[in-house]
């Protein structure tokens, strides 16, 4: 059974809520709609970044089919990208088509919050 957006705090997303596994180090969550041209370019950029950075997952969510989550997270336009740390905590939110360099910088901040390994 899929979790609903009202089951969780607004700053944490889980695998059950987004319908896909979280990345080991970070997750890029993209809210898109079917006819959104910038969403296609954003998908390409986020896929490239996820392939480039080990332990990073890219999850695309159809905003129209997940209105509960869109409302809960106050998503106002597509594409909107959320950067999650390894625990699913939202560390950055951006709307519009991102630049690859900006995505990498936001990931650097999310990944730097990892606990020290012993």
Q: Whole-model pTM?
A: 0.87
Tell me the CB-side half-sphere exposure of residue 104, using CA atoms within 13 A: 10
51 by Cβ neighbours in 10 Å (0-12 / 13-18 / 19+) ranks as exposed
Assign 51 to helix, strand or coil.
helix
pLDDT for residue 1 = 40
Q: How far is CA 107 from CA 5, 52, 78, 83, in A?
A: 24, 12, 20, 7
Residues with Cβ within 8 Å of 115's Cβ and at least 6 positions away in sequence, in order, are none
Write the pLDDT tens digit of every residue in 7-64. Answer: 555 689 999 999 999 999 999 999 999 999 999 999 999 999 999 999 999 999 999 9
Distance CA 118, CA 69 (A): 37
């Amino acid at each position: 059974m899929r979790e609903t957006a009202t089951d969780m705090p607004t700053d944490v997303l889980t695998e059950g809520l987004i319908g896909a596994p979280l990345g080991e180090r970070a997750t890029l969550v993209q809210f898109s709609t079917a006819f959104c041209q910038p969403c296609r370019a954003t998908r390409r950029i986020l896929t490239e970044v996820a392939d480039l950075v080990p332990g990073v997952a890219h999850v695309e969510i159809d905003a129209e089919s997940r209105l509960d989550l869109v409302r809960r997270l106050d998503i106002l336009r597509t594409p909107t990208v959320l950067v999650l740390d390894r625990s699913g905590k939202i560390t950055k939110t951006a709307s519009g088509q991102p630049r690859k360099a900006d995505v990498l910088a936001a990931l650097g901040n999310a990944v730097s919050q990892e606990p020290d390994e012993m």
